[in-house]
Structure 1
Amino acid sequence: MAGSLSHSSPLNFVCNWPITFAMSSANTPFLSESPQVITDMAPLRLQHYGNRILALMLLLLHAAFVWGQDDLWGQAVVLAHYGAFLLWQPFFSGQQRLPWHRTLGVLLVGASLAGLHNVWVAALWCVMLAGLLGAVAVTLPSVRERLGLWSAVLYLLLLLFVWLLPQCYGLPVRQVSQVVFWRDGLLLLPLAAALFPSPRLSRGGLAVDLLYALMFVLIIGVLALGSYVAMHLRQSDYASSLLLSTSTLAATLLIFAWLWQPRGGSSGLRNLFSRYVLSLGLPLEEWLKQLSDAAEQQPEPDVFLRSAMAGFTHLPWSTGVTWRTPDCNGSLGQKSRYATSFTHLEVEVTFYTETQVNPAFALHLRLLTEIIGYFYAAKTRERAMRANAYTQAIFETGSRLTHDVKNLLQSLKTLCSAAEHSLPEQAMSLQSLMQRQLPQMAKRLEITLDKLKAPEKALDTNQIQAREWWRILKARYAREELRFNMDEPNATVWLPQELFDSVADNLVQNALRKRVGQPDVAVRVELETQPTPCLTVCDSGEAVPPEVKDKLFHAPVSTYDGLGIGLYQATKQAASLGYRLELSSNREGEVCFSLMKGEA
C-alpha cells in the first residue's frame, strides 16, 4: 500500500518512501522487480499486517491525545496516527486514484485533527473510530478476526469513558494516579489485537456497513450524553452516572430487541419496518391484490393493463400514469413536470409525480413496472395460446374426420357403381338400397360439418346397438374380402357410433394398405360384447417397426403406408370416452389392434 500510494494515489505522504525502502532492503531480489509488480504486491503485504497497523494506529492515538496532550509534538504524532489510519482504512484501495474533492476531504480531516488538538476532538474521533471498527467487525465471518477488532473497540470505549470524557466534563482525572495507571494499562488491548489474524477486507467501502456504523456511533453518543445528564440532574459522581446511563441504555436495547422480533410467532417491528421499506409510499399488498384480481378477471392484455394502471392514480404521490405497448397505449390522470419512465418486456410505463423521484423510490417503481410487464407478457401468451388451441382443435378435428369423409366418398362410389350397372328388373332393389344408404350418408355428412364448425364441442353423443353397427360395418366392407367374427350376433349392447366408426375405418384401412405390397395379407375383424365391448382388427402382414411402435399412440407418425395421425387422433378420441386403443399383438403374421373399455 505504501508503494502503491507513491505511484498512483494523489495522497503521496512522506511516510510512504521509508516504508517502501525498508521493505525493499529487507529482501534484495525485491529491488529488481518492476514498479508495477511492487504496486500490485504492496496491498497484499499491508493486508497481511492489518491488525499490526491497527495496533500501531491506536498506539499513536494514545501518544497523541494522552501523552502529548497540549504539546506541539502531540500534534505531529496526530499526523502519524492519521497516516496509519489511511493505511488501514477499508474505504478505498491504494491503487485507486481519488478525485480532487475526495482528496481535499481526506486532507481536511487530517488537518482538523492536528489543528484542533483538544480533548473534545479526541473524544469525537474515538467515537467515530469505535463505530467504524464495530461496523467492520460485524461483517466478518471468522470469530478470531472479529476478536481482534472488538479488542480495538473496547480500547477506544475505555479510553473515551475513563480518560477523555471526564476531562470534557471538567473532572480532575489527570491528577488521580490510579486513573493514570489504568489509562496506560489500556495499551494491552491494542497489543492483544495485533496477535489475532488480520481480516481480509474488500476495499472500496464494501467492507463497511454504514448503517451499523451510524448505529454504533449513536449508541456511544447516547451513552456519553446520558451519563453527563444523569451526573448533573442527580448531582452524583461520574462513575455512578455512567453506570446508570449504561444500565438504562442496556434495558432500552433489550426491550427494543424483544419488540423487533417477539417470541411466539407474532409480528414485531421487524415486519413493520420491512413493509415500510417495501412500500415507500405505495401500499404494496393492496396493489398486488388488485393486480392479481385484474389478471384473473381480464383475459385481454389491453384491458388488464388499464385495470393495473388504475391503481396508481389513487396514490398521494402520483398525478398520472401513461403506458405504451406495441398493440396499444393509454393514459390516466394528469401529467406533471416530473416524469419517470421504465420499460420492461415491450411495456413502457411513465409515472408522473408531484415532486422529483429519489433513487430508492425509482428502483421501487422499476420493480413494479417489471411485475406489470411480466403479467402483460403472460396475458399476451395466453391470448396466443387460446388462438393456437382453437386452430389446433380445428386441425385435430379435421384430421379425425378425414376418414369419415373418405368413407362417405367410398359409399357414394359404391352407390354410383350400383346405379350404373343395375338392370331394369333391379330397379326396386336399387331404390331400396338408395332409401337405406342416402339418409344415413346425409346424416353422417351433417355430423361432420357440425364438428368442423365447432371443433371444441365435437363430442360423440350418438349411440348405436352393437348388432346394428356390426351389420353396417360388414355391408361397408363387403367387397374387401375381410373375415368378420362376432361373439353374439343378436347383442343389444350400445356402442358410441362415431368412435367405433372412426377406429374401425382407421384400422381396416391401415390393414388394407399392406395388400399393396403383399396381396395375400388376410384381414380379420372381431367384435366382443361380453363382458365389455372390444373391437379387434388383425392382419397377417409385417410387424410394426420398434421406432414407430414407441410413439404410435402418443404423437403423429409420418410413414408411407399409414399408421400416421389417424391412430393418434383415434387414441385421443377413445380416451375422452373412457376407452383405450392398444397394439395387442405385434409379430410377423399377427398384428392386432384392440379398442376396449377402460382407461389407458
Structure 2
Amino acid sequence: MLHHSNPFISPKHEHRWLGLVLITLHIILWWDFSTSKPWSELWLRVVLLIHFGVFILWQPLWSRFDLYHLREIILLGIVIAIFIVFPHIWLITLWLCVLLGLMGGRDLVKPLDKMVNMAAILFLSLELFIVNLPQLFFIEEVALLYQFSPDIWLWPQYLLLGIPFTFLFISTDKEQEHRYHVDFFHGLTVSMIMIIMALGSLVIISQGKTIMPLAFFQMSLGLIVFILTVSWLWVIFAGEQGVDPLWTRHLYNIGNAFEQWLEHLAQPSNYKNLTPQEFLR
C-alpha cells in the first residue's frame, strides 16, 4: 500500500487537480492521431506535457517517487518523454489503463471522496469504450455512423467532459491521513476487469455481428455471472463466509501462526456450535 504526501499542493484542491487531469486526457484522446500536420503534432505534445504536469501535482504516489533524488527525477522524465516523443494511441490507451488502476486502487473513507473516485472510474471506463476502442479497432457500425453523420459522434464526447468539469467545483478538507492510499491489488483488478470487458466485447462484436452497446452488456453480464458463481462456489466448498475476506486478506497477511489462528477465529462457522467452555479451551 502506497502513501501520498505532497507538501506543495493543498489537499483542498485534490479533486480540482483530478478534474484537470481527466480533462487534458480527454483532449488527448479526442485528438486525430491520423493527421500528419506539424502544428497538430506540436499541440498534441504540448497538451501531453500539460497533462503529465498536472498529473504530477495530483498523483497519489508522491512518496513512492521521491522527487528530491536525481535518479527518480530522471526515471520519471524518461517515462514522460516517451509519451511526448511517441504520442501513439496505443501508448495513450496504456496510460488510461494505468489511471484506471490508480483510481480503482485508492482506499478512501469519506463519502464525497468515494463518489468523486467512482465518477472518475466511470469517466475513464467510458473513455475506453467510447473513444479508445473505435480508434484502435475497426468497428463497422461506428464507421457507418461516422460516415453518415460525423457530428453525432461529438455529442458523447461533449457529454463526457461534464464529469471532470464538475470536479472543478468540488473542494475537500485539508486532512491527508485517510485519502491518499493506493492498493496495488485492487487497482490491478479494476484495470484488468476493464481490459477484459473491452477485449471480450470486441470478440462478441466480431464473431456475433452484435451491436456495440449489446456486446458491452453481454460481456458485463458474463463477468457478473462469473464473479457470482465463483463467490457461491467459494462459500460452498471452501467454507468461507464470502469472498470479502479473500479480497482484503492480502492487506494484512503476514503468514504467521497467530494470524492463522485469528483468521480461523473470525469464521463463525468454526465455533458457532461450541459451548463457552469448549471455545475457551
Match of 2:62 in 1: 92
List alignment gaps of at least 5 residues for structure 1: 1-39, 286-600
TM-aligned CA deviation for residue 59 of structure 1 = 1.2
Tell me, yes or no, if the aligned pair for 2:205 and 2:212 is still in contact at 8 Å: yes
1:50 and 2:23 are equivalent in the alignment:
no
The one of 73, 91, 95 aligned to 1:121: 91
Decide whether the 8 Å contact of 1:50 with 1:198 is kept in 2: yes
Alignment-derived partner of residue 81 in structure 1: 51
Q: What is the alpha-carbon distance in structure 1 between the residues aligned to residue 65 and residue 200 of structure 2?
A: 43
Question: Which of these residues, 145, 161, 164, is aligned with residue 132 of structure 2?
Answer: 164
Query: Do structure 1's residue 254 and structure 2's residue 228 form an aligned pair?
Result: yes
Shift of 1:260: 4.7
2:196 matched to 1:228?
no
2: CA distance between counterparts of 1:242 and 1:78?
30
How far apart in 1 are the matches of 2:255 and 2:11? Answer: 41
Deviation at 1:129, TM superposition (A): 0.7
Q: Structure 1 residue 196 and structure 2 residue 160: aligned?
A: no
Q: Which amino acid aligns with 2:131?
A: W
Report the TM-score, using the length of structure 2 for normalisation.
Answer: 0.72
1:261 to partner: Cα distance: 4.9
Note if contact 1:155-1:186 (Cα within 8 Å) is conserved in structure 2.
yes
List per-residue Cα deviations over 1:245-290 (Å, max 9, x = no partner).
Answer: 111112222223444556xx94367578969x6769xxx78xxxxx
Q: In 2 relative to 1, CA 95–217 (structure 1 residues): closer, same or farther, beyond 3 Å?
A: closer
Q: Secondary structure of the residue that 1:43 maps to in structure 2?
A: coil
Q: Quick one: distance in 2 between partners of 1:94 and 1:233? A: 44
- 8 Å CA contact 1:151, 1:192 repeated in 2: no
Larger RCO (alpha carbons 8 Å, 6+ apart): 2
Structure 1 residue 105, shift from structure 2 partner: 2.4
Letter in 1 for 2:132: L
- Kindly report the root-mean-square deviation, in angstroms, between the aligned alpha carbons of the 2 structures: 3.5
Q: Which residue does 2:28 correspond to in 1?
A: 64
Match of 2:270 in 1: none
Note the residue ranges of structure 2 that are not aligned, 5 or more in a row: 262-281
Aligned to 1:267: 240
* Residues 147 and 47 of structure 1: CA distance in aligned 2, closer, same or farther (over 3 Å): same
Separation in structure 2 between the aligned mates of residue 207 and residue 215 of structure 1, nearest angstrom: 16
Structure 2 CA distance, aligned partners of 1:258 and 1:99? Answer: 49
Comparing both structures, which one devotes a greater share of its residues to strand?
1
Residue deviations 1:50-75 (CA, integer Å, cap 9, x gap): 11111111111122221464431112
Q: Contact 2:22–2:164 at 8 Å: present in 1 too? A: yes
Which of structures 1 and 2 has the bigger CA Rg?
1
TM-score normalised over the length of structure 1: 0.36
Partner letter of residue 229 of structure 2? I
Q: Is the 8 A contact 1:144 1:197 kept in 2?
A: no
- Distance in 1 (CA, whole Å) between partners of 2:85 and 2:233 is 45
CA distance in 1, matches of 2:67, 2:246: 42
Counterparts of 1:260 and 1:91 in 2: how far apart (Å)? 34
2:275 is matched with which residue? Answer: none
